[in-house]
Amino acid sequence: MATISDKARSYFPLQSVDAVVALFRSELDTQSSADSSDAEKEPNLTLLSVVAGMVENILTANKPAHHGKEDQRIGITPIFPVIELPNVEALCQKFDTQIKGSVDLSNYKSDFATRELVKKVSDIVWSSLTRSFYKDRAHLQSLFSYLTGNKLDCFGVAFAVVAAFQILGYRDVHLALSEDHAWVAFGENGSQTAEVTWHGKGNEDKRGQPITTGVADRSWLYLNGHPVICCRRMEVAALVSAINPSISANSDSIEVASMQQELLWMMYDLNLLKRYPLALGNLGDLESLEPTPERPSTQELFKEAIQVSSELYDNCHVYPYTYLGGHLYRAKDYVGAMDSWTSAASVVSKYNYNREDEEVYKEFLQIANDYIPSIMKSGSTGSCQQAVEFTKSSQCFANFLKFYDGICKWEEESQTPVLHITWAKNFIASVTKFPAKVRGQVEVEDPEGEANGTDGSEAEEKSGDKGSEDEADSGVEDINKNVVKSDGDAKRNSSPTTQQEGEGKQGSDANSTSLEEESLLQSELGLTGTDAQNTVLDLKTDFNDFLSSVANGGAFPGMTIESVMKAESPAEMAFQKRLKTQSSQEDISEYCRPDECRKEDTPEPQVETVCESPVPPKVQIDFKSFKMRGIRGIVTSKEKLNTAAIHLQLTAQSQVQFSKRARSTNDYEDYGSLRRRPRRL
């Protein structure tokens, strides 16, 4: 199939992006020649890969550095390379000769490829690669790179094997793609799978083996058995999606990006991307840089990718959500971005983490330790209104907790931990920037199905009146320490029965101490006689009266905890308040009956409740991971956070026990070398 058709020859030389698009369109048009055989109706994978690779490598290699100002580069006309037919034809013929000269088809009589033949072809490609090169570098995914420098990356090897089988005349071998790996599906109905390439280091011996082991291990690389299985035309879409326009870490080739964008839109119109979420994401990424008029927007493309993943692949793809989250983050829609990141964490929680998941790990590492802390910093300083609204939203706080719950669930049952000290520090720093009132509006369902509120008070109320005396004592002690309790605890501690039980346990020592304090206060304020006696009687008030329902969410009207802390003495504040009330009562006492005077001596408890704002509904969430369940009462508490407990819980090993395995050097050789190849499968 490496032979170039007469129609394809007519498009050469290729001198523009439009000419390349026309060539691809011609190859994808299966009805272009009615008298052609079925085999000739397939697009020529070798030809298209060589052309795309040639354009990409010429435009991204050996680019001169620009040392002038930005405005000096504006207006320079991009120069598209001229792609001549003889050069392309020579490379295609070279690949055709190599494959046909290495495989004796007389030994393989079946109409469908066998595992032995798949292993044979993959070995041919593998053995011809240069050993001393970095396989994770850019621009190594095309047959042009293979035929001119004997270099291929993970995707490039898999694509070369599929193109080789097309040359051999086998139509059942197709490309299978996950979000960061590639293999082949073959046999009748594509029921068999085989590894033909590597991922990371030390995996050469996997070639020819089925992927069942990776699926059984719940590895993200294999998407729980829900990869994108390509047909011939979709393999062309995979080739285009794998194009990498980057020149360096900070610059891209405008010409290559434009060519890729035009080709993807053409394939979008041909419905070749309707089953390919990652290609839709790449197209949306390109649209965010250079929107095309009268085309779906970037956000619409990302949402379409999410819909495809949900409907066709059991919602097993992570990148559609991270694509959308990153786009919304750049647009400062932090609420929407957090929701997308939470969905991405929910998807990744279906898998078990291992060292080959470096690409998706780096995605979540950037979200948790860069994007979210940046939002929280802007919200705490007030420099961004969208970030301020984010920190005041209980739903955003709930999504933030669910995001980490997904990461912790991903870590469970894994041989390698995910969270380390940096994750824990940023988690604690972000939680503390959410106000206590916002944290208290989130309720976490415990494993037994009961709601765990700010400190578990509602669950305690359901357990009955057992231990009510101890609860009353602890309630008074907490209030004296200025510890704010939740709604349920406040109501329980303020009940008449509980107050009577607490007063009954005071004892004679407490009474004598109270009398001494009253005498001291009388002398300090210069009160004698009846005034002193009335004042002391008015000051005999429960400390619960100092707490305001507005500030603390309890049922007690009165002064706020902040005003109490600013005063020299809470008792003095209470006295000043009562004294003003009594003075106003004396002015009108001659007009009041005794019973009316007694009624007005008591302050109206609803004076401050009029200013209360409606309590927003609480957000209900549930945790799936053991780690987040362990700190659910801490992170949703209105009290001061126990950061040490959170730190220890998050950085601990997985809560699930697993058997130890023998260490090998290969387990650690590839851990420190993070792959740099872009996600362009």
Neighbours of 631 (CB within 10 A): 25
Distance CA 602, CA 608 (A): 15
Residue type, 645: A
**Cα within 13 Å of Cα(356), Cβ side:** 20
pLDDT value for 512: 52
Residue 42 token pair:
């397939």
Closest alpha carbon to 284 in 239, 246, 256, 321: 321
- For residue 484, the 8-state DSSP code is P
Residue 577 token pair:
């308040």
Do 193 and 137 meet the contact criterion of CB atoms below 8 Å apart? Answer: no
Neighbour order of strands in the sheet with 192-194: 192-194, 182-186, 174-177, 228-229
- Looking at the chain, the number of H-run helices and the number of E-run strands are 34, 7
Report the b/e string of 352-379 with b at 16+ CB within 10 A.
bbbbbbbbbbebbbebbeebbbebbebb
Q: Which of 52-66, 336-350, 653-667 has the highest mean pLDDT?
A: 336-350
Mean pLDDT of 429-457: 76
pLDDT tens digits for range 396-411: 999 999 999 999 999 9
Q: Which residues pair with 252 in a beta bridge?
A: 246
Torsions phi, psi of 110, nearest 5? Answer: -70, 150
Do 446 and 385 meet the contact criterion of CB atoms below 8 Å apart? Answer: no
Q: Which of the two residues, 513 and 561, has the higher pLDDT score?
A: 513
DSSP for 501-552, written as a single string: HHHHTSHHHHHHHHHHHHHHHHHHHT--HHHHHHHHHHH---GGGGS-HHHH
Distance CA 289, CA 295 (A): 14
Mean pLDDT of 52-70: 73
617: pLDDT confidence band, cut at 50, 70 and 90? confident
Q: Is the pLDDT of residue 577 over 50?
A: yes
Residue 387 token pair:
């970030």
Of the chain, the percentage scoring pLDDT greater than 90 comes to 58
- For residue 610, the 8-state DSSP code is G
Distance CA 209, CA 122 (A): 12
Q: Is the pLDDT of residue 317 over 80?
A: yes
Q: Is the pLDDT of residue 572 over 80?
A: no
Peptide bond into 417 cis (omega under 30): no
Q: Which residues pair with 622 in a beta bridge?
A: 445
133: pLDDT confidence band, cut at 50, 70 and 90? low
pLDDT value for 99: 97
Token pair 């983050």: residue? 329
Distance CA 415, CA 653 (A): 10
Distance CA 620, CA 131 (A): 55
pLDDT value for 670: 35
pLDDT value for 200: 66
**Cα within 13 Å of Cα(249), Cβ side:** 1
At residue 252, the 3 state secondary structure works out as strand
Do 621 and 401 meet the contact criterion of CB atoms below 8 Å apart? Answer: yes
285: pLDDT confidence band, cut at 50, 70 and 90? very high
Distance CA 393, CA 435 (A): 10
Helix axis angle for 298-312 and 319-330, nearest 10°, is: 160
pLDDT value for 143: 98
Q: Which of the two residues, 477 and 361, has the higher pLDDT score?
A: 361
Do 227 and 215 meet the contact criterion of CB atoms below 8 Å apart? Answer: no
Mean pLDDT of 217-236: 96
Q: Is the pLDDT of residue 547 over 90?
A: no
CA torsion sign, 519 to 520 to 523 to 527? Answer: negative
Of the chain, the percentage scoring pLDDT greater than 70 comes to 65
Q: Is the pLDDT of residue 467 over 70?
A: no
Q: Is 612 left (phi over 0), alpha (psi -120 to 50) or beta?
A: beta
pTM: 0.73
Distance CA 300, CA 277 (A): 12
The Cα-based distances of 210 to 155, 196, 205, 215 in angstroms read 17, 10, 12, 10
CA dihedral 356, 358, 359, 363 (to 10 degrees): 140
At residue 96, the 3 state secondary structure works out as helix
Torsions phi, psi of 672, nearest 5? Answer: -85, -15
Neighbours of 629 (CB within 10 A): 20
Residue 38 token pair:
């079925």
pLDDT value for 471: 41
Closest alpha carbon to 351 in 367, 369, 336, 364: 364
pLDDT value for 523: 54
